[in-house]
Chain A
Amino acid sequence: MARPHRSGRVKSWYRRNNRLGDLSAATVLLTPPLVILGVFTIWPIVYSAYLALVDWDGLAADRPFVGFDNFARLWESGELPQSIKATVIYTVAVAVGSVVVGLVVALLIERVAHGRSLYRAVYFLPAVTATVAVSVVWGLLLDPGPGYINTTLRQFGVEGPNWLRSTTWALPAVIGVGIWKHLGFNVVVFLAGLAALPRDVFEASAVDGAGSWRTIRSILLPLMAPIILLLLIMGTIDGFLVFDQVFILTEGGPLGTTDVLGMLLYRRAFRFFDLGGAAAVGWVMFGLVAAITLVQWRAYGAGAKGVGG
């Protein structure tokens, strides 16, 4: 007796929610993408939290629970602190560097009469190139002997270092490639932001006799502050996830100086079959990205308020 009653309730609920066929259409349109998202993103998040707490090589029937030992082990071995350090230096340098250079380039492009779209395309080009391909090329350019960079330096009487094998120069070289790749994205966003600024502000300031630098510092920068912060946040998130160019250029060496978190995670999982440790590294990345994003959003809120007041 209970069954027909219940199905009657389900039916009336369905009818009530499906007046224009919305529920049927939503079921058809959403089920495939949400199932895929569920199986390959949402379930893996839960699974990953579990993996981070067990000791498993991916094959053994036994998966002993070790709690936070995976984190502690990688921390005490020095690998995790070293990777965090390399990742933070890389991220800060690339995020800040490509914002500063990107703003300068965008201001220059904004103020020329001809060739704007050509300049924009040229500066943006690296952003769309395949990271693997251009990293292979950068590896050859940075070759200490016949590489183009050291060949050029020699013409100025400077003997360049062995960039990618030097504990001093490997990380700066990888950072340089990162800025080269990331710059164009910022240029495009800055140009869109500059185009949306009110013209009269600059004209008024020019009439008042303010110099170019003063106009930039006291009018332009405050107006652009929200975009600058946004690009810093996006650059930070991007930087923390760097993998391809490190994998091609240095594989984390020499002596771990470029061993970013993505590289550490890959190595733990697929060279040492330490899935628990790898999952733990993934959560460290999530935690750092979330923390830094949160701090920057706070600054963003404060910055926006400062501009408004």
Chain B
Amino acid sequence: MATRHLLLIVGGVVILVPLLWMLTTSLKSPGEVHLPPYLIPTSFEWSNYAEAFRVDQFDRFYLNSAVMTGGIVAGQVIFSSAAGYAFARLRFPGRGILFAVVLATMMMPVYVTLIPSYLIVRTFGWLDTYTGLIVPRLVSPFGIFLMRQYYLSLSADFEEAALVDGASRFRVWRSVALPMSAPALATVGIFAFLFSWNDLLWPLIITTDPDMRTVQLGLAMFSGRYGTQWTLLAAGSLIATLPAIVAFLVGQRWLVRGIALGASK
């Protein structure tokens, strides 16, 4: 037993080295960067964070990432529920084919559609806009699949009661099914959050205006320009990844369940 704990702790420290080093370095003064200790903060130069915000417009990047992430999370949650519900509960011609098409798009690597998506966004005049950052990624086939499975596993009793009471099908979705699926929607939401907050490729190709950069893109460009200023780079990296870590700590339960569900499909 003790051996197992020892192995797990050693492995865990190795796993945490980059994160501990990032925190420690972000709080050092420039003179201390190359001096130990490397993994446990002993000095606390909080001004590095203010400095990172000052030399580059991380506040603007943060706003852009927040708007993009908020839009994508809201869209993926609503549309996954709507489409998942329709595929699980409603009878209409072409249901099987449409669902098969949605599933098939899940198999398509994003790279196949990347160049055409860029061209379409350009045609619409959406380069360097929030619309361009958000709209093409509003729908997640995986989210639709997850919500369909969830609704199929849910008893239809409440919905039928509402139908008997004279509610329309749409009303039943909005007032009964949607609230009842909150735990599954939390799973879709946290996946959407991590996906969009951490994304680099799409913002990289559809924005050229520095004012439209997201946090990840801003950090990538920042690391090219300020590559020698390690304290600022560490502070910038920590700023960029902190929301994802917080989201994980808050939503761990739903995230882990989503992974187990996704792996068992």
Chain A positions within 8 Å of B, measured between CB atoms, are 17, 20-26, 28-30, 32-34, 36-37, 39-45, 47-48, 51, 58, 105, 108-109, 111-113, 115, 119-126, 128-134, 136-141, 146, 148, 151, 180, 183-185, 188-189, 192, 227, 230-231, 234, 237, 240-241, 243-244, 247-248, 261-262, 265-266, 269-270, 275, 278-279, 281-283, 285-286, 289-290
A184 to B11, CA, bound (A): 12
Q: Which stretch, B12-20, B43-51, B180-188, touches the partner chain A?
A: B12-20
Interface residues of B in 193-208 (CB under 8 A from A): 194, 197-198, 200-201, 204-205
Query: CB < 8 Å: which of B7, B33, B93, B115 contacts A279?
Result: B115
A133 to B204, CA, bound (A): 15
Query: CB < 8 Å: which of B5, B21, B139, B259 contacts A112?
Result: B5
Chain B positions within 8 Å of A, measured between CB atoms, are 1, 4-5, 7-8, 11-12, 15-19, 21-22, 25, 33-34, 38, 79, 82-83, 85-86, 90-93, 95, 98, 101-102, 105, 107-120, 135-139, 141, 144, 163, 168-170, 173, 194, 197-198, 200-201, 204-205, 215-217, 219-220, 223, 230, 233-234, 236-238, 240-241, 244-245, 247-249, 252, 255-256, 259-260, 263-264
A140 to B256, CA, bound (A): 31
A123 to B108, CA, bound (A): 29
A180 to B21, CA, bound (A): 15
Taking a contact as CB atoms under 8 Å apart, the answer to whether A247 and B200 are in contact is yes
* 20 A-B interface contacts by CB (under 8 A): A20-B91, A30-B98, A36-B138, A39-B136, A40-B117, A48-B115, A48-B116, A51-B116, A115-B5, A119-B12, A122-B15, A125-B19, A125-B245, A132-B217, A136-B233, A140-B234, A141-B18, A189-B260, A281-B111, A283-B112
Taking a contact as CB atoms under 8 Å apart, the answer to whether A136 and B237 are in contact is yes
For the complex formed, measure the closest distance between the CB of B221 and the CB atoms of chain A, giving whole angstroms: 10
Residues of A near B256 (CB, < 8 A) are 120, 124, 188, 192
Residues of A near B34 (CB, < 8 A) are 146, 151
Taking a contact as CB atoms under 8 Å apart, the answer to whether B230 and A140 are in contact is yes
Taking a contact as CB atoms under 8 Å apart, the answer to whether A113 and B1 are in contact is yes
Residues of B near A234 (CB, < 8 A) are 263
Residues of B near A137 (CB, < 8 A) are 18-19, 21-22, 233-234, 237
Nearest-neighbor residue (CB-CB) of A243 within chain B = B201
Nearest-neighbor residue (CB-CB) of B234 within chain A = A137
- Say yes or no: A185-B82 contact (C-beta < 8 A), given A37-B141, A128-B247: no
Residues of B near A48 (CB, < 8 A) are 112-113, 115-116
Residues of B near A105 (CB, < 8 A) are 8, 11
Which of B5, B105, B115, B118 has the most CB atoms of chain A within a 10 A radius of its CB? Answer: B115
Residues of A near B4 (CB, < 8 A) are 108, 111-112
A295 to B233, CA, bound (A): 43
Taking a contact as CB atoms under 8 Å apart, the answer to whether B15 and A123 are in contact is yes
Residues of A near B90 (CB, < 8 A) are 22-23, 25-26, 29
Residues of B near A286 (CB, < 8 A) are 108-109, 111-112
- Say yes or no: A123-B263 contact (C-beta < 8 A), given A24-B170, A37-B102, A286-B109: no
Taking a contact as CB atoms under 8 Å apart, the answer to whether B86 and A122 are in contact is no
Residues of A near B118 (CB, < 8 A) are 269
For the complex formed, measure the closest distance between the CB of B255 and the CB atoms of chain A, giving whole angstroms: 8
A151 to B223, CA, bound (A): 22
Query: CB < 8 Å: which of B92, B108, B135 contacts A26?
Result: B92
A34 to B19, CA, bound (A): 40
Query: CB < 8 Å: which of A36, A136, A146, A265 contacts B135?
Result: A36
For the complex formed, measure the closest distance between the CB of B223 and the CB atoms of chain A, giving whole angstroms: 5
Residues of B near A111 (CB, < 8 A) are 1, 4
Taking a contact as CB atoms under 8 Å apart, the answer to whether B119 and A47 are in contact is yes
Taking a contact as CB atoms under 8 Å apart, the answer to whether B15 and A130 are in contact is no
Residues of A near B137 (CB, < 8 A) are 40
A279 to B25, CA, bound (A): 41
Taking a contact as CB atoms under 8 Å apart, the answer to whether A185 and B16 are in contact is no
Taking a contact as CB atoms under 8 Å apart, the answer to whether B113 and A240 are in contact is no
- Say yes or no: A129-B117 contact (C-beta < 8 A), given A30-B98, A137-B234: no
- Say yes or no: A128-B116 contact (C-beta < 8 A), given A36-B136, A134-B237: no
Nearest-neighbor residue (CB-CB) of B170 within chain A = A25
For the complex formed, measure the closest distance between the CB of B166 and the CB atoms of chain A, giving whole angstroms: 11
A286 to B115, CA, bound (A): 14
A88 to B4, CA, bound (A): 34
Which of B25, B205, B223, B234 has the most CB atoms of chain A within a 10 A radius of its CB? Answer: B223
Query: CB < 8 Å: which of A41, A247, A248 contacts B113?
Result: A41
For the complex formed, measure the closest distance between the CB of A251 and the CB atoms of chain B, giving whole angstroms: 10
A133 to B240, CA, bound (A): 6
Nearest-neighbor residue (CB-CB) of B26 within chain A = A137
Taking a contact as CB atoms under 8 Å apart, the answer to whether B234 and A43 are in contact is no
- Nearest 8 pairs of A and B residues by beta carbon: A25-B169, A44-B116, A44-B113, A47-B116, A133-B241, A33-B79, A40-B136, A133-B237
A266 to B201, CA, bound (A): 9
Taking a contact as CB atoms under 8 Å apart, the answer to whether B113 and A129 are in contact is no
A262 to B115, CA, bound (A): 12
Taking a contact as CB atoms under 8 Å apart, the answer to whether A39 and B120 are in contact is yes
Taking a contact as CB atoms under 8 Å apart, the answer to whether B108 and A148 are in contact is no
